[in-house]
Amino acid sequence: MTSRPVPAVSPGHGGLDGATARRRYVTVSFLFWLPIGMSIATGVLLFTERGMGLAAIAGFYAVHSLTAAAMELPTGGLSDVIGRRPVLAIAGLLNLTAFTLIGLGAAGWAIALGMGLMGLARALSSGPAEAWYVDTVHAHAGPDADLRTGLARGSSATSAALALGTLLGGGLPWLLGLAPGLGEWLADTTGGLVIPLSVPALLGALVEGVFVLYVLSALPEPPRPRTTLRRVMGGVPAAIAAGLRLGARDALIRRILLTASAAGAALAAVELLTPGRAAALMGTAESGALVFAGLACAGFLCSALGSQLAPLVARFTGGSERAVLASLGLVTLGLTLLGLTTHTMSPLATTVAVTGYGLVYLGLGAAGPNENDLLHRRVDASGRATALSVQSLSLQLVAAGAGLGAGALPPGPLPWLLAATAVLAGALLWVRRAAPAPPHHGPSATGGPVAAPVPAGPLHDTAPEEIHPHARPT
């Protein structure tokens, strides 16, 4: 009797099978984004309570986005050289420091520094966890292993962490406000450094410590060639050039990057403008934070649902490209509904606005895994983190500019409708199917040919030999 050959398991990945790697990837995704979710509901309102105007707050978020954008490609290359685990651990430590500064900082420079460190952490974390998961699955099951399921679950875990974190972050200040005099006692005891709205950020710093410990203990990876700081820094320009070439030589990757830019415009408008609408609806910052927490939680749950539905949407529409088109259409509709309801707070308008908010996140959640599945099949293992960083770079750059623009524009429908126009332009890129790449040897997970992966460039030799080329999600 003969048996089918079993792919060799890479000892460098601890002998992890696909299911174990998926669970650990999901856990890492959840732990990283939970503290960020805890700061979402109170971020804008905390800065407002510290005496900052909307233009200054938009500037803080621009510091975050521009820092992340400036460091995306260098840090993506760093992960490909020194490993996924150390880069993720550094990201966690930076976030721990950032949340501490944001929670305690009453001065603009402290808040700006915290947002900058958070942007650096975002750049460091944008690819390594996903790249670790794909590398580990390929090492165990080969380059044609199914990735979309794990990527969708990781995206769902991210959304669930943001939803839970937002509920916790919005609920804590409200609960602290129920105790008579507790908020004043916190402020008096700490010299004004700690107020109810800053507690979620400080609690998030503690969660980041747990994240760092988990990363160091649960993400084995093969040893990489010894290197020096000089060699690593010398490879940064090559990493940047390799990342830029990805979009220049492949039309499909170029579409993915432009789509990420459109998503950045949508997220900048939603994150900057929605908290103020919630506070205006309720009349106080603490009540507004609670309402926004519930709304953001619902949005992230919609994003998680969209991620889970991503494979079904791809099958229903006839492929990942059509799925991205349909998903971005939902985002455009949601932003339009939000824009058309800015001048009234009637029950009907509020219901329409909440529906639009949910559609934005449902569409973004469904688009992400399908975009990333397409991208992973165009790049090889040596530049996977770099490719993910290029995608995140596109999102962050546009988010920074769109946030500054939305903060400078007069309140009303215009900022929302401009964001809707940007997303519509991104959706129209997918009306025509991309030309197929040359076939890759071997069948895909669905039985058809796979597009040949695009090498990322000079970092190729740093990849472990047992890692097979191709794959990736959003």
The pLDDT-based confidence of 35 (bands split at 50, 70, 90) is: very high
54-86 residue pLDDT tens: 778 888 888 887 887 777 666 666 776 777 888
398-448 residue pLDDT tens: 877 787 787 777 778 888 888 899 999 988 988 876 655 544 443 333 333
Q: Does residue 182 surpass a pLDDT of 90?
A: no
Per-residue exposure over 244-268, b if at least 16 CB sit within 10 Å of its own CB, e if not? ebbbeebebbbbbbbbbbbbbbbbb
Q: Which of 358, 366, 368 is nearest to 313 (CA)?
A: 366
The C-alpha atoms of residue 365 and residue 269 are separated, in whole angstroms, by: 17
Residue with the bigger pLDDT between 218 and 11: it is 218
Residue with the bigger pLDDT between 189 and 423: it is 423
> Do residues 307 and 152 lie in contact, with contact meaning Cβ atoms separated by under 8 Å?
yes
Q: In this structure, how many other beta carbons lie within 10 angstroms of the beta carbon of residue 363?
A: 29
Please state which of the ranges 35-39, 119-123, 276-280, 361-365 shows the lowest mean pLDDT: 276-280
The pLDDT-based confidence of 318 (bands split at 50, 70, 90) is: confident
What pLDDT is recorded for position 473? 26
Q: Which of 371, 392, 374 is nearest to 328 (CA)?
A: 371
Q: Does residue 467 surpass a pLDDT of 60?
A: no
Q: Does residue 103 surpass a pLDDT of 90?
A: no
Mean pLDDT of the chain: 76
Q: Does residue 186 surpass a pLDDT of 90?
A: no
The C-alpha atoms of residue 275 and residue 294 are separated, in whole angstroms, by: 11
The pLDDT-based confidence of 375 (bands split at 50, 70, 90) is: confident
The C-alpha atoms of residue 219 and residue 83 are separated, in whole angstroms, by: 11
What pLDDT is recorded for position 94? 95
The C-alpha atoms of residue 259 and residue 417 are separated, in whole angstroms, by: 17
**Distances in whole angstroms, Cα of residue 131 to Cα of each of 63, 93, 210, 289:** 26, 20, 21, 35
Q: Does residue 256 surpass a pLDDT of 60?
A: yes
As a whole number, mean pLDDT of residues 110-115 equals 91
Tokens for 149? 């399921």
pTM of the model: 0.65
What pLDDT is recorded for position 251? 78
Residue with the bigger pLDDT between 173 and 33: it is 33
What pLDDT is recorded for position 233? 64
What pLDDT is recorded for position 350? 86
What pLDDT is recorded for position 214? 94
